[in-house]
Amino acid sequence: MRTDLSKALDECLGRLRKGEAVEACLTDFPHLRHQLEPLLSTALSISTAPRVSPSNEFRTVSKSRLMMQLRERSNQAKVAKQRQEAAQPGMLGTACRGFLQALGRPRGLVVPVTLLLLIAMGGSLFMIVSLASPSQPTALASQCTVSVLSGGVQIQIPGSDDWQVAVDGMTLDAGSRVKTATDSHAMLTFFEGSSIKLEPGTDIEIQRLERVDEHSTDIVLKQWLGTTWSRVVKRLDPGARYEIQTPSAQALVRGTLFEIEVGETALTTVRTTEGLVSVSAQNEEVFLPVGQEATVEFGASPSEPRPMATADSELIITVGMPAVASVCDPTGSSTGYLPDGFAFNQITGAQSTSPSDGVQVITIPNPVAGEYSVVLRCVADGTSQVNLTYLSKGEAVFTHASAHEVTSGSEWLIPIHLEVADGQLISATVGDIEPLGDRAPEKIVRTEAVEETLVPIEPPEEPGQPADSECNYALVVTSSTGGSVTEPGQGVFFYRAGTVVDLIAEPDEGWEFKSWTGIVADRACPTTTITITTVKLEVVTAHFVPQHSSALK
């Protein structure tokens, strides 16, 4: 009977699939009707349930990731075949020609740029081929540490195709791969102190991690997709290398802060926040100093350097001595200093001046909505001034100032809640300062190499005064799109009270100066001055408009 029921059910399901009505099917099995009807009803309810689908973001990101991997594998297979052919006597010339022809094809073949450079230098085919297999690092002498800042992070160990859940604090060897989900952030810290932060949807491979000798290190990464933010410890040894390869380009740095973004079509964008970055592709190299960016399309040379787009919004936190500050953002990333001089910068695009300057200024471009924590660790007794400013298109839309009596060794936390929509600040709430207690909001990894170089932050000579008591008033200078402030430049500057600072705004071609915001002497004049007062932080912004817009008024 059960066999009859299962067969009858299967037959009815087949007939329903062809469009017959349920009743017609049940009529043919009257003795099984009372059993069949509920089962068919259940089958119909399942079939009418809406389909689960992957997110569009996953569709896009995963396809890009897959295609890059497949192209790389395909390239390796072709190169391996060439090597086999080249190993046969009399065929080396043919193999070279074929290989070089293959390199010339821009589509479907991902070739690290270092490969092309070696060819130009006349390297042997074998040496070239071995270097064309970047997933086979030459030496595994060092490791890096993974920090899971938020969300789910996965790793792939060398020789395995399986992805595993990353454990915060685990170490990885060269040959490992790390990827972040669409809602996660991760950090890799290398043994000499450099670090790289992975934004959501990022996939990178650690190709080489090697201490060449006591003083120089070799770090080579392959960024398949996504956005990373690197903080590279400056090394004196010219042999030291920190290199990131992408499907389109290669970025080589010595000591700097920079961002690399690899899009779905392998378009690579490199932005330098500090230091100098060399970007190479197709045998051409450009240098990106501070504030410059360049893009590289797949198979093309790097674009000319151009100024980085200024951030639409900025959160600026200034903290006066005797406090040493750090800021943690809603993603779990942190930027700032510790009292022993340890510096860290995990927030993409952020910068922090040293507390030793007397006033520490932390700037965070395009801050996201959520909870922030300003952590204060005090190195002496005194009063610490804390200022918060939210700039939107150069204008201060929110400010908050507070002064806190602190004692040496005390630790505090100030919570800040930001509501942001479409880049606009909706609301900002600053909570009451509270003792830090046992909390450790920052997720940082300290390496031996860095410990040797630390210089503790010195407390001010007099309680409540910064080490340099004369230049402790900050002036933040920014500009809108269409020009820049050339005197004294753009950024954060420190002056003594009473200083008269010259300001000169210069428009770009096709633009004209409109006005200043801030307490300048003449808002309408591109050349003006500002007198520094005892307000801890002043912000001035130069605004520009396209040349024809004023004619239309």
Binding residues (CB under 8 A) for another protein: these are 2, 5-7, 9-10, 13, 16-19, 38-39, 41-56, 58-59, 62-63, 65-67, 69-71, 73-74, 108, 152, 154, 161-165, 181
- Contact between 413 and 371 under an 8 Å Cβ cutoff? The reply is no
Which CB atom, from 85 or from 458, has the smaller least distance to another protein?
A: 85
Please calculate the CA angle 285-289-294 and round it to the nearest 5 degrees.
55
In angstroms, give the least distance from the CB of 427 to another protein: 25
CB neighbours of residue 468 within 10 Å = 16
In angstroms, give the least distance from the CB of 175 to another protein: 17
- Which amino acid appears at position 337 of this protein? Y
CA distance 347 to 330: 10
Query: Among candidates 331, 317, 419, 314, which has minimal Cα distance to 367?
Result: 314
Which CB atom, from 43 or from 117, has the smaller least distance to another protein?
A: 43
Which H or E element spans position 119?
helix 113-120
In angstroms, give the least distance from the CB of 418 to another protein: 23
C-alpha atoms less than 13 angstroms from C-alpha of 256 in its C-beta half-sphere: 25
Which CB atom, from 2 or from 553, has the smaller least distance to another protein?
A: 2
3 state SS of 85 = helix
In angstroms, give the least distance from the CB of 54 to another protein: 4
In angstroms, give the least distance from the CB of 184 to another protein: 9
Which CB atom, from 41 or from 88, has the smaller least distance to another protein?
A: 41
Please calculate the CA angle 57-58-60 and round it to the nearest 5 degrees.
65
Which CB atom, from 161 or from 438, has the smaller least distance to another protein?
A: 161
Report the helix count and the strand count for the chain, using DSSP H and E.
9, 36
Residue that the structure tokens 């170490």 belong to? 171
In angstroms, give the least distance from the CB of 176 to another protein: 16
- Contact between 469 and 462 under an 8 Å Cβ cutoff? The reply is yes
Which CB atom, from 64 or from 326, has the smaller least distance to another protein?
A: 64
In angstroms, give the least distance from the CB of 536 to another protein: 43
In eight-state DSSP terms, residue 409 is: T
Sheet holding 500-507: strands in order across?
A: 483-487, 500-507, 527-531
In angstroms, give the least distance from the CB of 222 to another protein: 17
Which CB atom, from 66 or from 139, has the smaller least distance to another protein?
A: 66
- Which amino acid appears at position 13 of this protein? L
Which CB atom, from 73 or from 439, has the smaller least distance to another protein?
A: 73
- Which amino acid appears at position 65 of this protein? R
